Amino acid sequence: MGLELHANHVQITYYTLFIVLCLGLSELIFTLRERRAEAWKSFGKALGLLVVGAVVAVGLNATRLMTTAEYVKATMRGESTGLTEEGNDQHGLSKDYITAWSYGIDETLTLLIPDFKGGPSAGTLGAGSHTGRAIQKMSGYPEGKPLTSSQQKRLDKQLSNPNFRPRNLHELMYTFNVPLYWGTQPFTAGPVYAGAIICFLFVLGLLLVPARERWWLLGAAVLGIVLSWGKNFMPLTSFFIDYVPLYGKFRTVSMTLTITCLAMALLGMLAVREWFAKGGDSRKRLRALYIAGGVTGGVCLLFCLFPGLAGDFVSTRDASYGAGMEFLRETLPLDRAALLRADAFRSLMLIAAAFGLLWSYERFSKLHAAVFVGGLVLLVSLDMIPVAHRYLNSRHFVDAKLRTAPFKACAADRAVMADQNGQFRVLNLNRDLFNTSEPSYFYKTVGGYSAVKLRRYQDLIEMALIPEIERVSSAMNGAQTQSQFDSVFRSAHILNMLNTRYLVYHDDAAPLLNTQAYGPVWLVSALKVVPDADAEMAALSETDLSQELVIDQSEAGGLAGTYQTEGSSIVQRSYSPNELVYDYEGLSPQLAVFSEVYYYTGWKAYVDGNEVPIRRGNWLLRACELPAGKHEVVLRFHPDSYFNGKIFALISSLLLTFAFLGIIFVRFLAKKRPKEAIV
């Protein structure tokens, strides 16, 4: 568990807990049925050891877990910011957001037939496909020869070249992505495939494996499936979101199929153990084999013969094809049906091969069982590796120089980076502003992407920042001179308070300079106290934030109403992510606003070493009231959760070390003592 948590995918660890709970519930039921004191003693001992192990494992990772738990409260997964407009009073993630990637009920058959729903949203088809033949007829491309693996690798390297042109139909189809997926998810990189042989062995395990090992694995597998349906099975999904702790903190419910895949694989392994165990009822085993083969193979055969049973193979994206690409509306459904038929036949053959191998051992078991087990391992490998290769292949591996420098700076990026005059942010309109972090590789931006968004910043984006960016973009079309640009930016109060110094609108054009940005810190002369979150958000766009601080009444206690800023100044001396230093001089007490995102815990402000409170103003920035005089102002990040977590991690590490040393010591003593004394 310590290693699992260290891998830092909390969602998967959380789903692992579901598997453990299924096992624990099953063991509790069987212990109740046994009604023996010895059984309860064994159950209690196992449970106690697991709890101790889990506590130590959590302690080993306390630093990351405690800071994450603290951070999540400030994100979209945490509490509402108090907004009531446009449904923004949401506490935690909305159910629509959580269930956006819900597996279709019929889509569950991808566990057995990988391309049951077409595969990826952006996939390729061969030259012999319906789409390939239609393109050849329209374009006149020569068919050429099928590509070798070396030729495919060559093409993979050339795809980034804008001057690349395919030489024949095979090269064209290899580089031409089409929407193969036609399920209900918005898009997908590929299906969840447990394996045809694993599915066959899973059904076999349901018939052969003892009840105590069988039922909890079946329960875990079914739980993973029904939870993955998400919005397609809302009664159960709503119950889990509303009442199961932490379930509503995670999105992409289709990931619960990891529970199913693990449970199916484990039960399949136990089925193999039972099959090759000595003794037992041969007739019972053969009957189970026939049923498992008939069920899984029968489903594959059915869709191989009648693929139309799966649906019409039409994607919602097909209707968007026009301007000479209308033929795809006809060819893509035909190709998707062909993909389903081909994979159904593939799964059928693999199941038949595994069936034949197990049947041969039962009938003619002269060879050692290891030979048959080895054959089964080979078959599973032939099943899983080629399907995995569809989604992890040479296209996904890059040269080391690309790994260490994944993005190439354009002319506009280089121009921005040439400005070493302090800290600032950039508005890059040449990228998908809030769905990519590429510009952030080079400089600080007002955009970017995170799967765990700060709620306050996301609220600002949706309700104020995007409308302001749209107004600025529209007004920029008529601006030609710097004075005209200044006029446009002068009313862009939110971009200015975020210290947006540059606007990038084209990779090869010089970025526009915003001379109206307020800088990393500034002094204001007045407060605009507002009663609630709605009023605070509304006031941002209609207030000159260079002169006034919009502040909620809950944050304004003890502050003066007005300040005389003339003759006072504050400038940033140094910057690092966890410490910011400013030189300040005030003829009278001043109110400083920092162009830094407010975070509710961990940050502390000091004036000549004496702590002063940090207040939240302008919805998401930091503000501090500073005394008169010449002072050094420092903002320092020192979260207690991080340093307390390090202490817990150290204690847990020592406990784990002592446990290992204790085991070694006990075993050393056991070797020294006579066997009678040990007994």
Q: Each residue of 242-275: pLDDT tens digit?
A: 999 999 999 899 999 999 999 999 999 999 999 9
Residue 90 clears pLDDT 70, i.e. is over it: no
The answer to which of 3-12, 83-92, 193-202, 560-569 has the lowest mean pLDDT is: 83-92
Amino acid identity, position 295 = V
| Burial state string for 603-626 with b = 16 or more CB within 10 A and e = fewer than 16 | bebbbeeeeeebbbbbbbbbbbbb
Give the CA dihedral 217, 223, 229, 232, nearest 10 degrees.
140
Residue 522 clears pLDDT 90, i.e. is over it: yes
The pLDDT of 446-460, averaged and rounded, is 92
Residue 368: predicted pLDDT: 80
DSSP E strand stretches across 284-329 = none
Residue 89 clears pLDDT 60, i.e. is over it: no
Residue that is written with structure tokens 């568990």 in the block: 1
Two structure tokens written together for 655: 């406990």
d(CA 537, CA 619): 7
d(CA 597, CA 75): 13
Residue 151: predicted pLDDT: 84
With helix as H, strand as E and coil as C, how does 133-181 read? HHHHHHHCCCCCCCCCHHHHHHHHHHCCCCCCCCCCHHHHHHCCCECCC
Residue that is written with structure tokens 């030979």 in the block: 371
* 3 state SS of 557: coil
Domain with CATH 2.60.40 in the chain: 521-638
For residue 494, count CB atoms less than 10 angstroms from its CB and return exposed for 0-12, middle for 13-18, buried for 19 or more: buried
Q: How confident is the model at residue 679 (pLDDT cuts 50, 70, 90)?
A: very low
Q: Mean pLDDT for the chain?
A: 91
Q: How confident is the model at residue 281 (pLDDT cuts 50, 70, 90)?
A: confident
The pLDDT of 183-204, averaged and rounded, is 96
Residue 403: predicted pLDDT: 66
Residue 663 clears pLDDT 80, i.e. is over it: yes
The pLDDT of 308-330, averaged and rounded, is 88
d(CA 442, CA 413): 7
The model's pTM: 0.87
The residues facing 427 across adjacent strands are 503
Residue 152: predicted pLDDT: 84
* 3 state SS of 477: coil
The answer to which of 319-328, 406-415, 557-566, 631-640 has the lowest mean pLDDT is: 319-328
Which carries the bigger pLDDT value, residue 364 or residue 617?
617
Residue 674 clears pLDDT 80, i.e. is over it: no
Q: Each residue of 524-576: pLDDT tens digit?
A: 999 999 999 999 999 999 999 999 999 999 999 999 889 999 999 999 999 99
The pLDDT of 303-311, averaged and rounded, is 95
Amino acid identity, position 377 = V
* 3 state SS of 75: strand
Which carries the bigger pLDDT value, residue 334 or residue 144?
334
Q: Which residues have C-beta within 8 Å of that of residue 220, sequence separation ≥ 6? A: 18, 19, 22, 23, 259, 260, 262, 263
Residue 677 clears pLDDT 60, i.e. is over it: no
Q: Each residue of 209-249: pLDDT tens digit?
A: 999 999 999 999 999 999 999 999 999 999 999 999 999 99
Q: Each residue of 123-178: pLDDT tens digit?
A: 999 999 999 999 988 888 888 888 888 888 888 877 767 778 888 899 889 888 89
Q: Which residues have C-beta within 8 Å of that of residue 282, sequence separation ≥ 6? A: 362
Instruction: Name the range with the highest mean pLDDT among 142-146, 336-340, 364-368, 371-375.
Output: 336-340
Residue 73 clears pLDDT 70, i.e. is over it: yes
Residue 676 clears pLDDT 60, i.e. is over it: no
According to CATH, what is the number of the domain 521-638?
2.60.40
Residue that is written with structure tokens 């390939």 in the block: 132
Residue 492 clears pLDDT 60, i.e. is over it: yes
With helix as H, strand as E and coil as C, how does 323-345 read? CCCCCHHHHHHHHHHHHHHHHHH
Q: Each residue of 619-632: pLDDT tens digit?
A: 999 999 999 999 99
Which carries the bigger pLDDT value, residue 531 or residue 406?
531
Residue that is written with structure tokens 């087990």 in the block: 373
